[in-house]
């Protein structure tokens, strides 16, 4: 362990798991971990203002390099000196590199060693995204944490395709680091910690899909590049046994330096989060709470060990006069009824999306706060095994 590593400081560790609390020190503020990052693909979490997002308990926002590259575009972002001044979010921002779009928009792109050539569906425009260009875009965005451009194969179960993609990701990671150092005037924060002031960080990405030997090779190779933190990718690509997913993360968090922060890309459900915290993950992001909110599914805590979800459009809420969430810090959730929220969804009023999103993000950030508290009081070791989802009738 490096005692001089000041990017991330670990404060408390679980006795029997890899769970830990810590603080990530970034240019736009500190992040207490474990933490969840709401998805603001285009620099906004749908239906919420930045002050509302902050009030839910959010500490850090995730936005997407590829989509911001298209809209609003780099000229406008440069004019505002980055995304923070453009969207008025004062906290830290992490940007995905555009690598996921290699997978999600695979019908509209061609990938080779140089990078990926996208055909933009809306306009037919052709754009080339390389590791170097991804670094340039993320530098203009001025994200506190940038990610290397990674390559995702079209088939998650094909060993050879995943091996090629993992090896390409490592080659691209080297190019990303070289361009990052160039863009940031030769400064590089690795195991040496801060260079006088807080700097924007570049995280490496560990890949390998469900193949443990590829996961091992990827993590070991990343050690040589000495990134200040790591994201673990390929965990949200499709259905896979829980034991397999946990084994993949367990292996890579065991190899990557303990004193550096670990981010799990695209995960997940409340149950996922609690389990992966136990396996050493510090940062999470997922569309799960906000996308579910926009479709009328809300999350609620039942007790210290149990949560549930409710489909507010269900007929049982037609005349339910009880508040949406009597324990909420938001006045609207404490005073508006479930019946009224159902009415808003039925009539497609935009207020419905705002209220449901507030509820779900507040639930997620309360969960993260509870996890941190459980670790600090040494209750986590007994608690996490009992944490469960209860389906309501």
CB crowding 33-47: b at 16 or more within 10 Å, else e: bbbbbbbbebbbbbb
CA distance 188 to 65: 21
The residue among 248, 231, 355 whose CA lies nearest residue 285 is 231
CA distance 253 to 280: 6
CA distance 58 to 363: 11
- DSSP 8-state code for residue 324: S
Q: Give 111's strand partners.
A: 116
Spatial strand order of the sheet with 145-147 comes to: 35-37, 283-285, 262-264, 230-232, 201-206, 145-147, 93-96, 61-64
- DSSP 8-state code for residue 197: B
Tell me the backbone φ, ψ of residue 23, rounded to 5 degrees.
-130, 130
CA distance 169 to 82: 26
96 in catalytic set: yes
Task: Tell me which H or E stretch contains 57.
Answer: none
Angle 107-268-224 from CA coordinates, rounded to 5°: 75
The catalytic position among 96, 150, 272, 282 is 96
CA distance 300 to 31: 25
Cα 258 to Cα 19, 177, 244, 281, 330: the distances in Å are: 11, 21, 22, 10, 38
Burial class (CB in 10 A: 0-12, 13-18, 19+), 215: buried
Asked if 165 contacts 207 with a C-beta cutoff of 8 angstroms, the reply is yes
Residues with Cβ within 8 Å of residue 142, at least 6 apart in sequence:
81, 82, 83, 84, 93, 200
285 in catalytic set: yes
The catalytic position among 144, 272, 282, 285 is 285
Catalytic residues: 96, 285
């Amino acid at each position: 362990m490096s005692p001089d590593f000041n990017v991330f400081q670990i404060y408390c560790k679980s006795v029997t798991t890899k769970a830990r609390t810590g603080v990530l020190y970034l240019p736009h503020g500190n992040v207490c971990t474990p933490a969840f990052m709401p998805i603001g693909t285009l620099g906004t979490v749908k239906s919420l203002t930045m002050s509302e997002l902050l009030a839910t308990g959010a500490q850090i926002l995730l936005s997407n390099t590829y989509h911001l590259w298209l809209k609003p575009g780099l000229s406008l972002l440069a004019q505002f000196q980055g995304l923070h001044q453009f969207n008025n979010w004062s906290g830290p921002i992490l940007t995905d590199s555009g690598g996921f779009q290699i997978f999600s928009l695979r019908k509209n792109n061609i990938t080779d060693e140089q990078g990926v050539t996208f055909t933009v569906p809306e306009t037919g425009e052709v754009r080339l995204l390389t590791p170097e260009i991804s670094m340039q875009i993320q530098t203009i965005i001025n994200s506190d944490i940038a990610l290397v451009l990674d390559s995702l194969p079209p088939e998650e179960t094909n060993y050879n395709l995943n091996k090629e993609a993992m090896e390409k990701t490592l080659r691209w990671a080297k190019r990303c680091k070289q361009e990052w150092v160039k863009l940031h005037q030769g400064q590089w924060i690795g195991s040496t910690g801060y260079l006088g002031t807080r700097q924007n960080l570049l995280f490496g990405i560990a890949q390998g899909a469900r193949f443990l030997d590829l996961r091992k090779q990827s993590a070991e190779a990343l050690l040589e590049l000495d990134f200040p933190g790591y994201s673990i990718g390929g965990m949200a690509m499709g259905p896979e046994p829980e034991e397999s997913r946990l084994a993949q993360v367990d292996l890579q968090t065991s190899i990557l330096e303990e004193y550096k922060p670990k981010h799990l890309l695209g995960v997940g459900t409340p149950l996922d989060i609690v389990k992966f915290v136990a396996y050493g993950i510090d940062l999470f992001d997922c569309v799960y709470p906000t996308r579910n909110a926009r479709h009328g599914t809300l999350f609620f805590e039942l007790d210290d060990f149990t949560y549930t979800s409710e489909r507010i459009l269900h007929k049982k809420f037609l005349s339910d006069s009880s508040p949406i969430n009597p324990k909420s810090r938001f006045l609207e959730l404490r005073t508006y009824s479930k019946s009224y929220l159902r009415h808003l969804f039925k009539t497609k009023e935009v207020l419905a999306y705002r209220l449901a999103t507030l509820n779900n993000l507040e639930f997620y950030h309360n969960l993260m706060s509870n996890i941190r508290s459980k670790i600090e009081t040494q209750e986590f070791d007994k608690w996490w095994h009992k944490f469960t989802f209860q389906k309501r009738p």
